[in-house]
Amino acid sequence: MSAIAYHSDVELRRLHYFCAVADELHFGRAAQRLHVAQPAVSQQIRALEAELGAELFRRDRRRVSLTEAGRLLLEGARPLLAEAAALEERVRAIGEGRGGRLRIHTTRSAPAGVVPEALERFRETFPEVELELVTGFTGWNLAELAAARTDIAVVRPPVDAPEGWEVVPLVQEELVVALPAGHPLARRRAIRRSDLLGVEVVSWPRRNGPGLYDAIVEQVWGSTPPDAVREEPDDERIFQAVAAGAGVAVMIGPHVRHLRAPGAVTRRFAPPVPTVGLALAWVPTVAPSSARHFVDLARQLAKSPRGSCA
């Protein structure tokens, strides 16, 4: 059983006083060490002896020494005070956002850029915080945040945030077109929106991120919805389907740069280039203090030139 778990009515403050006197074997020097008046030390030691029903020090005009009971108490008091101090520091660290656990649900569509850089910087700045990372998608991340199973959700706006939530915009990222290498549009350097009308499209399910899905459709196809011939759960599978000739896909540019599939190529849009946002969603009133440190850090990185839109 740990020292902290051991039940006692003895005040830790009196044990501090006792250990100071035991170390110094002098009430005056112990008082100086504790920055209190000597009578206060004597009073606390007498109260401790009364509580325990045992004499802890032998006192005479020339010296102070520990009794057998005092030596036994000293043996147990030191680890007790050390563990209490360590516990106090751990609690304080969590309260200040320097310790504890921080749960973050990130997204597959942001493998590079502000979020990974913020995670790395956060680890360096707050090494005592245990990061629990899960990779998902906007719809699921928001559901996990609503269920209090995560502290921060990386999302693609727009999102329908309940009262009390905060959505922190980070960056806008360029959309590109992924095409089979043999597709007629692959010969072009830039793709116009009108080029995609009536073209077979590979996409991810709208339920993964309704706001993002609708924003992409509105920017690229306007009032004419795309001819989605195939759905895949994530960008990796979408890119592979494009390479296999299933259709074209509108994808987030910074993510596509990290994908490889023989038979697929990417082309930029002709101006004005459509973009999508990246943001953090969190609930400040219930999140641990470390969450605010991460949000502030990500916000600062997003404002730097490296965090600007591609």
300-305: long-range contacts at Cβ-Cβ below 8 A with a sequence spacing of 24 or more? 301/114, 301/117, 301/118, 301/121, 302/114, 302/169, 302/170, 302/171
Instruction: Report, as an integer, the average pLDDT of 49-61.
Output: 89
Residues 6+ apart with CB under 8 A from 165: 145, 281, 282, 283
Q: How do residues 207-225 score in pLDDT, each as one tens digit?
A: 888 888 999 999 999 988 8
Which helix (H) or strand (E) segment holds residue 135: the answer is: strand 130-136
The pLDDT, as a whole number, for residue 216 is 92
The pLDDT, as a whole number, for residue 10 is 58
The pLDDT, as a whole number, for residue 6 is 41
Say if CB 105 and CB 97 are below 8 A apart.
no
For every residue of 58-109, DSSP letters joined together read EE-SS-EEE-HHHHHHHHHHHHHHHHHHHHHHHHHHHHTTSSSEEEEEEETT
Rounded to 5 degrees, φ, ψ at 143 are -65, -40
Residue 290 in this model has a pLDDT that exceeds 80: yes
Question: What is the pLDDT confidence band of residue 306, given thresholds at 50, 70 and 90?
Answer: low
The pLDDT, as a whole number, for residue 223 is 80
The residue type at 167 = V
Say if CB 107 and CB 270 are below 8 A apart.
no
CA distance 241 to 291: 38
Q: How do residues 95-140 score in pLDDT, each as one tens digit?
A: 777 768 999 999 887 777 899 999 999 999 999 899 999 999 999 9
CA distance to 3, 58, 275, 293, per residue, from 299 (Å): 43, 63, 19, 10
Instruction: Report, as an integer, the average pLDDT of 265-294.
Output: 94
Say if CB 223 and CB 250 are below 8 A apart.
no
Q: Which domains, and CATH codes, for the chain?
A: 12-95 (1.10.10.10), 101-170+281-307 (3.40.190.10), 171-275 (3.40.190.10)
Question: What is the pLDDT confidence band of residue 228, given thresholds at 50, 70 and 90?
Answer: confident
pTM (2 d.p.): 0.69
Residue 305 in this model has a pLDDT that exceeds 50: yes
Structure tokens at 150: 């995560």
Percent of the chain with pLDDT over 90: 63
Tell which residue, 277, 297, 7, 17, has the closest CA to residue 159. Answer: 277
Place of tokens 């997204």: 107
Q: How do residues 3-50 score in pLDDT, each as one tens digit?
A: 444 444 558 888 989 999 999 999 989 999 999 999 999 999 999 999
CA distance 144 to 287: 13
The pLDDT, as a whole number, for residue 109 is 76
Say if CB 287 and CB 151 are below 8 A apart.
yes
Angle CA 191–215–189, to nearest 5: 10
Question: What is the pLDDT confidence band of residue 2, given thresholds at 50, 70 and 90?
Answer: very low
Question: What is the pLDDT confidence band of residue 307, given thresholds at 50, 70 and 90?
Answer: very low
Instruction: Report, as an integer, the average pLDDT of 147-158.
Output: 95
Rounded to a whole number of angstroms, the distance between the first and last alpha carbons of the chain is 57
Say if CB 111 and CB 255 are below 8 A apart.
yes
Rounded to 5 degrees, φ, ψ at 222 are 65, -130
User: What value does the mean pLDDT of the chain take?
Assistant: 88
Which helix (H) or strand (E) segment holds residue 177: the answer is: strand 166-180
